[in-house]
């Protein structure tokens, strides 16, 4: 297979490494072509009779995946186009989530937004313990919501209180906090050889039980009503009130994901996104966020 944005290493007998390496980008971001290549890898992995584990790693000098391609998003001009973009990503992450292979996101540096959504669709996440490693969902700071299942996968992984706070405030967490929250399943060390560490985690996680999703999420949701009201405005300055509609949309998606289904949450992510995206303050913020940085 001839890839433009991935490198697939099948030489190790015990696992396959999928290097994320978006062409002509300093940092990894997610867009249709990269998703399509991931889908091709998943089809091959699914058909592989040995079902070797997939290790997703970054081929960049910095970061795992920093999110969706912002430049792609701000050029979208219709609701149908953004919904198609988001639905495609959601479908690919579902395919990743449903793979029979063990899947591990091997994370170093920034793992943000869509990057964390990709990692959450893996069965496990092993994280480099350095100050540069940050995991988070910063979409609300841009006046937007997650678009690839983050509203339901995060709260089912770290719990409602922690998940709501991360989604509402957009604040990232460190590797050690991610381990404490259950967002990371283990830590790796850049000073030690990588392959023995991957060997260790592949063997350990092959026999691990999947973390159970709490069955009382609906009860917890109703009990958290006062806290939810506080979280809608937590940390917002007077000039940041324009972010509130995004927080309300996130809350609604989480609620429907709990009361109905994750598919309902993802539908709401898609259907409400264009309205948020078209707001002038959001467009202004995205333009600033995507502008080239001066050294």
What total number of domains does the chain contain? 1
pLDDT of residue 263: 96
pLDDT of residue 295: 45
**Is residue 248 in a domain?**
yes
Residue 48's pLDDT band (cuts 50, 70, 90): confident
- Whole-angstrom distance, CA of residue 255 vs CA of residue 221: 8
Q: Give the mean pLDDT of 283-288.
A: 92
Average pLDDT score, the chain: 93
**Is residue 161 in a domain?**
yes
State the pairing for strand pair 134-136/6-9. Answer: unpaired
Positions annotated as catalytic residues are: 117, 139
Q: Tell me the pLDDT tens digit for each residue of 218-273.
A: 888 888 888 888 888 888 888 999 999 999 999 999 999 999 999 999 999 999 99
Enumerate long-range contacts of 42-50, CB under 8 Å, 24 or more apart. 42/92, 42/95, 42/96, 42/99, 44/1, 45/16, 45/99, 45/101, 46/99, 46/100, 46/101, 48/101
**Is residue 216 in a domain?**
yes
pLDDT of residue 230: 86
Residue 292 has pLDDT above 70, yes or no: no
Are residues 126 and 105 in contact, defined by beta-carbon separation less than 8 angstroms? yes
Q: Tell me the pLDDT tens digit for each residue of 134-171.
A: 999 999 999 999 999 999 999 999 999 999 999 999 99
pLDDT of residue 26: 94
**Is residue 153 in a domain?**
yes
DSSP 221-233: HHHTHHHHHHHTT
Which of 32, 197, 8 has its CA nearest to residue 107? 197
Residue 204's pLDDT band (cuts 50, 70, 90): very high
**Is residue 295 in a domain?**
no
Which residues span the domain enclosing 12? 6-290
Residue 290 has pLDDT above 80, yes or no: no
Distance between the two ends of the chain, CA-based, in angstroms? 37
**Is residue 190 in a domain?**
yes
**Is residue 113 in a domain?**
yes
**Is residue 166 in a domain?**
yes
pTM, 2 dp: 0.95
CATH of the domain at 168: 3.90.226.10
């Amino acid at each position: 297979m001839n890839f433009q944005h991935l490198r697939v290493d099948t030489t190790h007998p015990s696992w396959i490494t999928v290097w994320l390496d978006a062409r002509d980008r300093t940092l990894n971001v997610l867009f249709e072509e990269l998703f399509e290549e991931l889908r091709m890898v998943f089809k091959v992995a699914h058909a592989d009779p040995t079902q070797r584990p997939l290790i997703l790693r970054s081929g960049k000098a910095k970061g795992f995946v920093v999110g969706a391609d912002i430049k792609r998003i701000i050029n979208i001009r219709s609701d149908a186009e953004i919904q198609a973009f988001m639905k495609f990503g959601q479908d690919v992450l579902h395919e990743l989530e449903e793979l029979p292979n063990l899947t591990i996101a091997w994370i170093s540096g920034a793992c943000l937004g869509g990057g964390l959504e990709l990692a959450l669709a893996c069965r496990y996440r092993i994280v480099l313990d350095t100050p540069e490693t940050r995991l988070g969902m910063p979409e609300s700071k841009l006046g937007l919501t997650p678009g690839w299942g983050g509203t339901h996968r995060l709260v089912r992984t770290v719990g409602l209180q922690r998940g709501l706070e991360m989604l509402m405030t957009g604040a990232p967490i460190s590797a050690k906090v991610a381990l404490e929250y259950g967002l990371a399943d283990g830590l790796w060390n850049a000073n030690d050889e990588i392959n023995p560490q991957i060997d260790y985690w592949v063997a350990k996680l092959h026999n691990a039980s999947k973390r159970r999703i709490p069955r009382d999420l609906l009860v917890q949701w109703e009990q958290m009503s006062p806290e939810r009201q506080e979280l809608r405005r937590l940390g917002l300055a007077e000039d940041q009130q324009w972010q509130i509609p995004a927080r309300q949309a996130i809350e609604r998606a989480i609620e429907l994901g709990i009361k109905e289904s994750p598919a309902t949450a993802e539908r709401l992510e898609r259907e409400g996104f264009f309205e948020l995206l078209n707001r002038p303050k959001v467009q202004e913020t995205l333009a600033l966020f995507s502008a080239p940085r001066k050294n």
